[in-house]
Chain A
């Protein structure tokens, strides 16, 4: 440390210290500070990705030990493209994305604007809508599974009370299982979207609105020509994180439907879990992982490009 402070040439420098120039010492300390994170990343990302790539080109059932890894080339990928459950999973992922990204973003946008300028007790509303987001998604899913119970659940009893004789069977019907999951997770994450929008809203200065008012702009006009464009970058941020997030959905499906009934709610991550941890097809599961990674990579690239061109 002394050396960094005042490197008086020639006087106090010993031969051993010449190797440790202030510059080098600084670099060494820098690397030491970063060491834990770097080691972690090397294992969990670099090695993991490389190993997963190798496994995706192999056949391996885990139980036969490392020696049992058998290199088979692109067999797993060929299987991937001929596997109807994979196509079903991709389709479900896309449907789930359509259900859980645009609509919740629009709802959260409106709610955030209302909470931001037009209510008393702003903090109450922030907290109220945020509560599901910090609650364990599994506990929340347990609650909804009771609410969605096809014959006894309060939701269907309410619908039948309204005169709907055959309400949807929600989680146990292949037609509505994915929709039910989308409803639950949109409900749980709405608070997050609202909070992010509200953070964006505090960055818009009041003067712009006042100037618009002087020009005679009404609330609707102000909403569409000031608020919406000013929150463009927030919307992009949410779009990117939520699009990617929707492809990572797993917990709630693993807990509630296990991909069923009849694969109607299976998604890519669930298929990885199933192949890897239920059937021990480590090679095939790795190939699905790479498909997921590729899709997320493309999505990220496309949204970034859209953002930069904007």
Chain B
């Protein structure tokens, strides 16, 4: 009897929360529905959630093959996100390995220094970083963005946290067999860290993909733009054409959404990982 009552109340809360989640996601539902419509129907009220007249082909053609080269933004975002993610994985896992499994004097100092750098907000060093990039001759290149986003103390710490848990005996045993650190790193540590590396990779990819500030500051030419920066062109060129703007937004959001839904466990656990230790 009590179990039934418990399940009843669980059912009621589920229905309530379900309704709430639908309301919560309405902006995105509206976005998708607008991407299917003729411009004149987008702002029609009451809202036609399922459009009577469908104009989706035209909308997508305008976004993807019109005067704003959206497919180039896609390619650029993809390229930058992939390269940045790989380099971040290498740099952060090497640092994490040194901070946990190599015994040497400077280690704690480096750790404390990294910890203190974590409170420096990126935005506070924006001006000197911009000048550095200009002096290196990298202004208006993708390399500038990769260089600015490939270092991540956050991920170094996340990986360090994981590597601390790897038993030292493993490492000692390998050392007695004559393996050097590079070999241990490559053939023992990295395979052991695969799950956490995958998580870091997905999150880093999403963050880099969505980054707006770095492309805004370091890119000038339109053909170098990433997707979020490209959205500004739709804002400026299609000011009152919401069907087109929503199609661009759908194009920016949906692919990543599919990746997220496919890998939801890893993404969510990865985000949670960062919070638990704090």
Inter-chain CA distance A12–B172, complex, in Å, is 22
Cβ of B242 within 8 Å of any chain A Cβ, yes or no, is yes
- The smallest beta-carbon distance between A25 and chain B, in angstroms, is 10
Cβ of A237 within 8 Å of any chain B Cβ, yes or no, is yes
Inter-chain CA distance A195–B273, complex, in Å, is 10
Whether B249 contacts A143 by the Cβ 8 Å rule is: yes
- The smallest beta-carbon distance between A283 and chain B, in angstroms, is 9
Residues of B contacting A139 in the complex (Cβ-Cβ under 8 angstroms)? 227-228, 231, 248-249, 252-253
Q: Which of B142-194 contact A (CB under 8 A)?
A: 148, 150-151, 153, 156, 175-176, 178-182, 185
Q: A26-B102, A52-B125, A154-B30 are in contact. Are A123 and B264 (CB under 8 A)?
A: yes
Q: B212's closest neighbor in chain A, by CB?
A: A251
Whether B264 contacts A127 by the Cβ 8 Å rule is: yes
Whether B10 contacts A34 by the Cβ 8 Å rule is: no
- The smallest beta-carbon distance between B215 and chain A, in angstroms, is 10
- The smallest beta-carbon distance between B31 and chain A, in angstroms, is 5
- The smallest beta-carbon distance between B37 and chain A, in angstroms, is 12
Whether A31 contacts B104 by the Cβ 8 Å rule is: yes
Cβ of A77 within 8 Å of any chain B Cβ, yes or no, is no
Q: A51-B131, A125-B21 are in contact. Are A237 and B275 (CB under 8 A)?
A: yes
Whether B268 contacts A27 by the Cβ 8 Å rule is: no
Inter-chain CA distance A142–B209, complex, in Å, is 17
What number of A-B contacts does a CB cutoff of 8 Å give?
288
User: Which of A27, A195, A269 meets B272, CB within 8 Å?
Assistant: A195
Contact flags (1/0) for A198-210 with B, using CB distance below 8 Å? 1110010000000
Whether A118 contacts B253 by the Cβ 8 Å rule is: no
Contact flags (1/0) for A46-84 with B, using CB distance below 8 Å? 011101100100000010000000000000000000000
User: Which of B106, B182, B228 meets A31, CB within 8 Å?
Assistant: B106
Cβ of B63 within 8 Å of any chain A Cβ, yes or no, is no
Contact flags (1/0) for B3-24 with A, using CB distance below 8 Å? 0000001110110010011001
Q: Which of B123-140 contact A (CB under 8 A)?
A: 123-132
Q: Which of A270-290 contact B (CB under 8 A)?
A: 272-273, 276-277, 282, 285-286, 289-290
User: Which of A5, A44, A120 meets B129, CB within 8 Å?
Assistant: A44
The dominant DSSP class at the B interface is helix
- The smallest beta-carbon distance between A150 and chain B, in angstroms, is 12
- The smallest beta-carbon distance between B44 and chain A, in angstroms, is 9
Cβ of A179 within 8 Å of any chain B Cβ, yes or no, is no
Cβ of A214 within 8 Å of any chain B Cβ, yes or no, is no
Whether B217 contacts A5 by the Cβ 8 Å rule is: no
Q: A1-B178, A143-B31, A196-B275 are in contact. Are A40 and B150 (CB under 8 A)?
A: yes
Cβ of B260 within 8 Å of any chain A Cβ, yes or no, is yes
Inter-chain CA distance A286–B114, complex, in Å, is 23
Q: A158's closest neighbor in chain B, by CB?
A: B45
Cβ of B59 within 8 Å of any chain A Cβ, yes or no, is no
Residues of B contacting A146 in the complex (Cβ-Cβ under 8 angstroms)? 34, 42-43, 242, 245-246
Cβ of A225 within 8 Å of any chain B Cβ, yes or no, is no
Residues of B contacting A200 in the complex (Cβ-Cβ under 8 angstroms)? 275-276
Residues of A contacting B271 in the complex (Cβ-Cβ under 8 angstroms)? 192, 195-196
Q: Which of B81-118 contact A (CB under 8 A)?
A: 90-92, 94-95, 97-99, 102-107, 110, 113-114, 117
Whether A142 contacts B264 by the Cβ 8 Å rule is: no
Whether A292 contacts B228 by the Cβ 8 Å rule is: no
Q: A139-B253, A282-B127, A296-B119 are in contact. Are A154 and B43 (CB under 8 A)?
A: yes
Inter-chain CA distance A238–B245, complex, in Å, is 34
Residues of A contacting B179 in the complex (Cβ-Cβ under 8 angstroms)? 1
Q: Which of A218-234 contact B (CB under 8 A)?
A: 233-234
Cβ of B1 within 8 Å of any chain A Cβ, yes or no, is no
Inter-chain CA distance A241–B118, complex, in Å, is 12
User: Which of A124, A136, A152, A289 meets B43, CB within 8 Å?
Assistant: A152
Residues of B contacting A125 in the complex (Cβ-Cβ under 8 angstroms)? 17, 21
Residues of B contacting A99 in the complex (Cβ-Cβ under 8 angstroms)? none
A residues in contact (CB < 8 Å) with B: 1-2, 4-5, 23, 26-27, 29-31, 33-34, 36-38, 40-41, 43-45, 47-49, 51-52, 55, 62, 111, 114-115, 118-121, 123-132, 134-140, 142-147, 149, 152-154, 157-158, 161, 187, 190, 192, 195-196, 198-200, 203, 233-234, 236-238, 240-241, 244, 247-248, 250-251, 254-255, 269, 272-273, 276-277, 282, 285-286, 289-290, 292-293, 296-297, 300
Q: What are 21 pairs between A and B in contact, CB < 8 Å?
A: A30-B103, A44-B151, A45-B117, A52-B128, A125-B21, A128-B24, A131-B28, A134-B210, A134-B256, A134-B267, A135-B252, A137-B212, A139-B253, A142-B248, A142-B249, A147-B27, A154-B45, A161-B46, A238-B275, A248-B121, A254-B216
The 5 closest A-B pairs by CB, nearest first: A237-B278, A199-B272, A33-B98, A27-B104, A196-B275
- A30-B102, A251-B213 known; 15 other A-B pairs, CB under 8 Å? A5-B178, A37-B91, A47-B128, A49-B125, A52-B128, A55-B127, A135-B252, A137-B212, A142-B234, A143-B31, A146-B245, A157-B43, A196-B275, A248-B123, A296-B119
